[in-house]
Amino acid sequence: MNKIVLITGATSGIGLGCARKFADNGDKLILTGRNEHRLAEIRKELTEKGAKVMTLAFDVRDREKAKKYITGLPEEWQAIDVLVNNAGLALGLEPEYEGNPEDWDTMIDTNVKGLLTMTRLIVPGMVERNRGHIINIGSVAGDAAYAGGNVYCATKAAVKALSDGLRIDIAGTAIRVTNLKPGLVETNFSNIRFHGDTGRAANVYKGIKPLTGDDIADVAVYAANAPEHVQIAEVLILATHQASGSMIVRS
């Protein structure tokens, strides 16, 4: 059965990969992101391939705007089957005691509070219908901290705890919760982390073939289409030459 899939942070990276893969699967898409122009480009790309796409331009940190858009969805788009909580970012690699408080706020407000906002807005409808799937994009960074990762790692540890907690809360329903934990994925993630320093960002992927957004999207689509009695609770996805968040072998 084709689903209605809402993806946050859908304008690039893993979110864009998920948009394309779920579109290929024949699902209807609600794509959210901050860049309205980029959302329009993606909508055009996917509709030309036959997908049904709605775009909503807002920042998940803006709880009131998120509420306005989600509660204002046309009736035929309201029964969301899959929520992909993908919007997230890392900023900086400074020691914790030298970190930028504004970076901390942005990461916590996006990676944790934004995820909570979307969950709070969408999951009650899933509970009422007794069907649905929440796919949270966590990280290997949520399993163990690495040098300079402090606050980002903490936010992804929170994603794991929130995924596990939600799974407990809705265990009496037919709703499933999946936490996907990617390792090194080549997106604009590092460029954002280093505040636009493209040279420094490129070094992150030097000497190793990293994952792509499509690789993570493949797992998301698989989890969403597993038999109804199967819950893919958690998946750690690493590049072949990456053993953990901090152990990478480069050529």
Is 97 catalytic? The answer is: no
Residue 197 has what DSSP assignment?
-
CA dihedral for 88, 30, 59, 171, sign (positive or negative): negative
In whole angstroms, give the CA distance from residue 78 to residue 102: 35
**Contacts of residue 64, Cβ cutoff 8 Å, sequence gap at least 6:** none
DSSP string across 86-105 = ----------GGG--HHHHH
Active-site hit among 97, 152, 205, 222: 152
Contact (CB, 8 A) for 178 and 233: yes
Q: Two tokens at 38?
A: 């980029």
Angle (deg, nearest 10), helices 13-24 and 36-47: 20
In whole angstroms, give the CA distance from residue 113 to residue 127: 21
Contact (CB, 8 A) for 124 and 73: no
Partners of 136 in the β-ladder: 85, 179
Any idea which residues carry the catalytic annotation? 152
